[in-house]
Chain A
Amino acid sequence: SQQGEEDPQALSIQEGENATMNCSYKTSINNLQWYRQNSGRGLVHLILIRSNEREKHSGRLRVTLDTSKKSSSLLITASRAADTASYFCATDAGGGSQGNLIFGKGTKLSVKP
């Protein structure tokens, strides 16, 4: 089964608009993390939300977690052209894992100036 699947696969918006990306997962988790990846580059950590948290903010980012629905959302407010990137959610494998992350396929966000 797939863990950490994002939707939509691609999202195109105008600068200034909000962007919402969703992530679903299948097994129990300890935490969920969101990462950004610019084309051909490394992964930049954005935010971590623990399983006992429901919402977290960091600057223009807002992340929610609904463990009953096994889903999370990432909201980027007042988007900028520089936000153009792929966004991935990653969950740990839960249980006794050593925190190794399971990534989804990502949402490709394009912000047009």
Chain B
Amino acid sequence: EPEVTQTPSHQVTQMGQEVILRCVPISNHLYFYWYRQILGQKVEFLVSFYNNEISEKSEIFDDQFSVERPDGSNFTLKIRSTKLEDSAMYFCATATVSYNEQFFGPGTRLTVL
């Protein structure tokens, strides 16, 4: 069964460093999302991406964040200068169309020291 994959599974970084989280969507999916979950808290929407551009973003998704599909397959989330409060699980999700089921990857645990 096709699945969303994410790399790395765990990333440890120093505050102020840049990180890139990678996602490989399910091949026929056209809508891509990033969510995050701070330990013990809700899953929060960050950004949606369709047709090579951002469709929607939340207040969390500030200028430190960016997304792109560099090679038509990977979907990446970049945090330019990480802060301690960016420590969280980051989930990529994809869907065939915007109001269908979203399939989530296993997540990347980001730890900012």
Where the two chains meet, the residues of A that have a C-beta atom closer than 8 Å to any C-beta of B are: 30-31, 33, 35, 41-45, 48, 88, 90, 92, 97-106
Contacts and interface: CB of A to CB of B under 8 A. Distances in A.
B91 A48 contact: no
Nearest to B33: A100
What is the interface of chain A mostly: helix, strand, loop, or mixed? strand
Interface of B: 31, 33, 35, 41-45, 48, 50, 55-56, 58, 91, 93, 95, 97-107
Contacts of A101: 33, 35, 43, 45, 93, 102
Contact of B48 (A98, A103, A104): A98
Contact of B56 (A100, A104, A105, A106): A100
Contact of B99 (A35, A99, A105): A99
A33 B100 CA distance: 9
Given A33-B101, A103-B42, A41 B48 contact: no
* 8 tightest A-B CB contacts, nearest first: A99-B98, A98-B55, A42-B106, A103-B43, A43-B104, A98-B48, A100-B45, A98-B98
A66 B1 CA distance: 32
25 contacts: A31-B99, A33-B102, A41-B106, A41-B107, A42-B91, A42-B106, A43-B43, A43-B91, A45-B103, A45-B104, A92-B99, A97-B98, A98-B48, A98-B50, A98-B55, A99-B100, A100-B33, A100-B58, A101-B33, A101-B35, A101-B45, A101-B102, A103-B42, A103-B43, A104-B42
A98 B45 contact: no
A99 B106 contact: no
Contacts of B106: 41-42
B100 A48 contact: yes
A97 B104 contact: no
Most A-side CB within 10 Å, residue of B43, B45, B50, B58: B43
Nearest to A5: B42
B10 to A, nearest CB: 11
